[in-house]
Structure 1
Amino acid sequence: MQSIKEIQDEIIDEFSMFEDWEERYQYMIDLGKDLPLIDEQFKTEDNIIKGCQSKVWVHAELKNNALEFTADSDAIITKGIIAILIRAFSNQHPKDIIEANTDFIDKIGLKEHLSPTRANGLVSMIKQIKMYAIAYQTQLS
């Protein structure tokens, strides 16, 4: 199994292949299209990320001591953003998610190329993923 850091490094390498942000946005949209979608039964108020302008649902389940995330969004760019985060953090141990650095977001230049509301949404998505990890880590302890 790849570590969070290894996955983040892969994402950084992938984004560095694109010359401009229009290409990177298109890549994010493509990633969003491949996102493992959340089951309709989990598209509830409890799973909506607070602080996002668009609707973003994230669901976590503990399987074999690793968190598996599924998600969806009603906005294509936001769906791409959550797809990147799901890729980095899904199927990882809660403790590793809690301790993971998120500076790969800055290294791919994502935050600086988002509108302020989308940047706030990104921070809210990361916070929610970490909150799920804390909740499940407590169960494992």
Structure 2
Amino acid sequence: MHDPADSHPDIHWPSGFSPAEAHGFHHVQAVVPGPPERVFRVLTDPADWTSWVPGCEEVSTRTFTQTFEARWCGQRFEVYVGEHVPPRRLGWMCLGTSVRLYQGYLLTAVGDGTEIVVESAVRASLPRAFDTLSPTWVERLDELWHAQLARLSDPPPSV
């Protein structure tokens, strides 16, 4: 778990979901290949999420919509898109049986790549238990997520 003081100042948090109010807060920042437009397309293509998002088992839609359902790590979530500003900003609320979270994404062009900032504020007791039982669990998940996103956002080889 990260310190809420490390939250990026440009993430827009809905009421009740600021990092300071959350039970768990995670911040991830990396540079991936490809322009923000390509990275944004990957992030908003739910038809492909089960092939690259760690733990994503099912998504109720093949196209990105304002609301949909997703099954992640055995739990069903209702997803409500709160911010959709291609290709720079994305944010959604996920409501599960015992977990509520908000994820905010910022995408910025840097050289030949895209700097991506992802922050999650979680309201539930489960994330804290995971952090306590396995401090590296979230870091390993973040590493896998970044590797997969980098692979998908990398431009195809020239023929």
TM-score normalised according to structure 1 size: 0.35
Larger fraction in strand = 2
TM-score normalised according to structure 2 size: 0.33
